[in-house]
Chains A and B, each alone.
Chain A
Amino acid sequence: MRAANFLRHRDSALALIVLALVVAIGLRAPVFVSPESLVGVLTDTSFLFMLTLAQMGVILTRGIDLSVAANLALVGMICALVSRAHPDLPIPAVIVMGIALGAVNGAVNGAMVAYIGIPPIVMTLGTLSVYRGAIFLISRGAWLTSKDMTPAFLAFPKASVLGVPILIVIAVLVSVGFWVLLGHTRLGRGLYAVGGNPVAARYCGIDLSAQQFFVHTLAGAISGLCGYLWVSRYGIAYTDIAQGYELTIIAACVIGGVSIAGGVGSVFGALLGALFLGVVVNALPVINVSPFWQTLISGAVILAAVVINARSEKRGGKLILHKARLLAGGGAST
């Protein structure tokens, strides 16, 4: 029963599509399906896995966070600057600092959305510009390259635990954390309740403001974590890193079946959505397709996902209307 729940219809279909995609690419370029190559794909996609889950939390409550990529870039830059100024700072301290700074940035969004009542899209659109600009101010527009970073700073994301790259390990931990949070805690179930029907959720005693504050702060914390990891993995920090990545993240959510209208989405689906984009991005150079195709393909995939989701959601809508009509008819006759 648990297993059947976990692999719901839509998610398993998407899993098959991703599998078919990998097999199709493997037939054209067998090197793609070698274990090292597949591990590389997962490592590359680990940022997208974590950020997609973070974004899903916000979208479940009918919000959206456009500032995640800017937050990531800002925290990454601060980590790089702090590490340059204090080379002795242990890496765990840098990571904790990154998570904390990201959480603070996220909490700013959350507080304004939850307690001042600014629509999430407007608030995060504003902080998107503010955080991007802040990077320029604190770095004075300079680029920090691997020469400005300590070996320990750069080595962490390339480490591995029992042969598994640490980025994948972290992504798995975050995913398990989300799975427990969304499926097995009162707080997580409340997110679905708030997104599904805010009024009903309120009558059940669920605090919408607290939920909004929480998901934005959580999204910020994960962006902060990814900020350090991103800068240290690619060995570069400048104003425009991860520019536009927020839309890739939202795209992964949409492909993964997370409803922008709130209240619908699963951890497994979101991960598959991210994996799909990750496979496409990594496969293009392997099968000799110019990387310029990447944007076009992800656009086409998003639209296909939107259309397919719309079809599956339409049936439910019709049924409700049917029932309502029956009720109205019954009410009139008595």
Chain B
Amino acid sequence: MSLSSPASAPRYEVADRPTLRLADILLRWETILVLLLIAVVVFNASISPYFLDFYNLSDATFNFSEKGILALAMAFLIIAGEIDLSIAAIIAVSSLAMGLAAQAGAPTPALIVIGLGVGTLCGAFNGALVTAFSVPSIVVTIGTMSLFRGVAQVVLGDQALTKYPASFQAIGQGYISTRVPIPISFVLFLILAALFGVVLHRTTFGRRLYAIGCNPTAALFSGVPVKRIRFWLFVLMGLMAGLAAVLLTGRIGSTRPNIALGFELEVITMVVLGGVSIAGGSGGIVGVAMAVFLLGLTTFGLSLINVPGIVISILNGALLIVSIAAPNLVGRVLRRKT
């Protein structure tokens, strides 16, 4: 976004980024996350000899790759000051569409297109409602959450769709090759994380998300097409939900009306823990990716020693609260001193 003339030296030194100081680096959110991540790895390795095993760790990524993919798009939305509570319900509808198509005998490529397409359409529906009526996205997506989930419940009732071709299940369950046992879903997450990171931190589009999140009115007056960007963010979220639906449906090999129930809250926890302010306008993809690992590895380590899932969710909830409260408290103490 540089406007300086190419040949002559710039007349002014624009202080567009703060000078780097050690204290700033140490107090950065990502630093705290790295320390937490190290603590989790050390703790997990000490409580279970099976934690630091390549094959175990590799398989553990199955459980958080789909949520990680969702967290990337959710981070975009939250940075731009929006939120989407309907993602789990979009997964349900998308999975339902794939299930019906698979029963009708659709081949794997068609299933993938249907899954991604239905997710994208649902996202576009959210985006259209939010932008056309200028209403808070939390309200709209609470509504569409019930609507989408309701569609899955009405069509499926208490049934499940389980007839999926083997090649389709291989996407969610498979590894990139037999010699390198890394799950396809995890590789997809890594590639997408890099892609989202570049878009957010190195493009005009990314900078505009921060502008919208900080002050939508000011962004609009600065020539940012706020509504159009908001709309496309919801479409992107829908597409990622469709992708998560493809991976999840393939992995568990069935579509139930309650598929992915409660994912939205876990994904938002990942994003907020990753240092994205829920009020919008700040945060980064590196932090979000690390929070995905942090929560994923915590869950994996504790489940190795047979801690029930619901107890792990207590820890995740507490982690969320403490990680937001601690910097606020530190900041308050520091401000009082000066």
Q: What residues make up the interface of A, taking CB atoms closer than 8 Å to B?
A: 64, 66, 112, 116-119, 121-123, 125-130, 132-134, 136-137, 141, 239, 247, 250-251, 254, 260-261, 290, 292-300, 302-303, 306-307, 309-311, 314
Whether A133 lies near B135 (C-beta < 8 A) is: no
Which one of B61-69, B106-114, B150-158, B286-294 is at the interface?
Answer: B150-158
In the complex, A159→B278 CA distance in Å? Answer: 45
Whether B142 lies near A254 (C-beta < 8 A) is: yes
In the complex, A6→B145 CA distance in Å? Answer: 33
- From A118, A136, A295, A310, B135 is in contact (CB under 8 Å) with A310
User: Which residue of chain B is the closest to A125 with respect to CB atoms?
Assistant: B265
List the B side residues contacting A294 at CB < 8 Å.
150
In the complex, A116→B333 CA distance in Å? Answer: 11
Whether A132 lies near B325 (C-beta < 8 A) is: no
- Given A122-B278, A133-B310 in contact, is the A128-B146 Cβ separation under 8 Å? no
Q: Which 3 residue pairs of A and B lie closest in terms of their CB atoms, listed nearest first? A: A296-B150, A299-B146, A129-B317
List the B side residues contacting A112 at CB < 8 Å.
321, 325
Whether B140 lies near A306 (C-beta < 8 A) is: yes
- Given A303-B140, A310-B133, A310-B135 in contact, is the A118-B314 Cβ separation under 8 Å? no
Whether B142 lies near A296 (C-beta < 8 A) is: no
Bitwise, B155-184 to A at CB < 8 A (1) or not (0) is 001000000000000000000000000000
Separation in Å of the A200 CB from the closest CB of chain B? Answer: 19
In the complex, A302→B325 CA distance in Å? Answer: 33
Whether B142 lies near A119 (C-beta < 8 A) is: no
Bitwise, B242-272 to A at CB < 8 A (1) or not (0) is 0000000000000001000000010011001
User: Which residue of chain B is the closest to A314 with respect to CB atoms?
Assistant: B134
- From A118, A129, A137, A261, B136 is in contact (CB under 8 Å) with A261
Separation in Å of the A16 CB from the closest CB of chain B? Answer: 22
List the A side residues contacting B149 at CB < 8 Å.
295-296, 299
Whether A306 lies near B314 (C-beta < 8 A) is: no
In the complex, A182→B146 CA distance in Å? Answer: 30
List the B side residues contacting A300 at CB < 8 Å.
143, 147, 150
- Given A129-B314, A136-B310, A299-B145 in contact, is the A118-B324 Cβ separation under 8 Å? yes
Between-chain CB contacts (< 8 Å), 22 pairs: A64-B138, A118-B324, A121-B138, A122-B320, A122-B321, A125-B268, A125-B317, A129-B265, A130-B317, A132-B313, A133-B311, A134-B314, A260-B136, A261-B136, A292-B153, A299-B144, A299-B145, A299-B150, A302-B142, A302-B143, A306-B140, A309-B135
Whether B314 lies near A290 (C-beta < 8 A) is: no
List the A side residues contacting B265 at CB < 8 Å.
66, 125, 128-129
Whether A127 lies near B317 (C-beta < 8 A) is: yes
Whether A122 lies near B143 (C-beta < 8 A) is: no
**Quick one: which of A133, A134, A314 has the most chain B CB within 10 A?**
A133
Separation in Å of the B26 CB from the closest CB of chain A? Answer: 22
- Given A112-B325, A295-B149 in contact, is the A129-B313 Cβ separation under 8 Å? yes
Bitwise, B308-327 to A at CB < 8 A (1) or not (0) is 10110110111011001100
A293-B154, A296-B154 given; 13 more Cβ-contact pairs under 8 Å: A112-B325, A116-B325, A118-B324, A122-B324, A125-B265, A126-B321, A137-B314, A141-B310, A247-B145, A292-B154, A295-B146, A295-B153, A303-B144
- From B143, B311, B317, A251 is in contact (CB under 8 Å) with B143
User: Which residue of chain A is the closest to B325 with respect to CB atoms?
Assistant: A116
- From B136, B310, B318, A132 is in contact (CB under 8 Å) with B310
List the A side residues contacting B278 at CB < 8 Å.
119, 121-122
List the A side residues contacting B133 at CB < 8 Å.
306-307, 310-311
Separation in Å of the A141 CB from the closest CB of chain B? Answer: 7
User: Which residue of chain A is the closest to B265 with respect to CB atoms?
Assistant: A125
Does B279 sit within 8 A of A, measured CB to CB? yes
In the complex, A306→B138 CA distance in Å? Answer: 11
Q: How many residues of B contact A (CB 8 A)?
A: 44
In the complex, A311→B134 CA distance in Å? Answer: 9
In the complex, A294→B146 CA distance in Å? Answer: 9
List the A side residues contacting B154 at CB < 8 Å.
290, 292-293, 296
List the B side residues contacting A306 at CB < 8 Å.
129, 133, 135, 139-140, 143
In the complex, A7→B148 CA distance in Å? Answer: 34
Whether B310 lies near A239 (C-beta < 8 A) is: yes
In the complex, A306→B130 CA distance in Å? Answer: 10
Does B58 sit within 8 A of A, measured CB to CB? no
Separation in Å of the A120 CB from the closest CB of chain B? Answer: 9
Separation in Å of the A113 CB from the closest CB of chain B? Answer: 10
List the B side residues contacting A295 at CB < 8 Å.
146-147, 149-150, 153
Does B14 sit within 8 A of A, measured CB to CB? no
Whether A116 lies near B310 (C-beta < 8 A) is: no
User: Which residue of chain A is the closest to B277 with respect to CB atoms?
Assistant: A119
List the A side residues contacting B313 at CB < 8 Å.
129, 132-133
In the complex, A299→B125 CA distance in Å? Answer: 13
Separation in Å of the B306 CB from the closest CB of chain A? Answer: 13
In the complex, A294→B154 CA distance in Å? Answer: 9
Does B328 sit within 8 A of A, measured CB to CB? yes
- Given A261-B136, A306-B139 in contact, is the A126-B317 Cβ separation under 8 Å? yes
Whether A298 lies near B268 (C-beta < 8 A) is: no
Does B104 sit within 8 A of A, measured CB to CB? no
Does B329 sit within 8 A of A, measured CB to CB? yes
Separation in Å of the A72 CB from the closest CB of chain B? Answer: 17
List the A side residues contacting B142 at CB < 8 Å.
247, 250-251, 254, 302
Separation in Å of the A323 CB from the closest CB of chain B? Answer: 16
Whether B308 lies near A125 (C-beta < 8 A) is: no
Whether B272 lies near A122 (C-beta < 8 A) is: yes
In the complex, A254→B133 CA distance in Å? Answer: 15
List the A side residues contacting B311 at CB < 8 Å.
133, 136-137
List the B side residues contacting A128 at CB < 8 Å.
265, 317
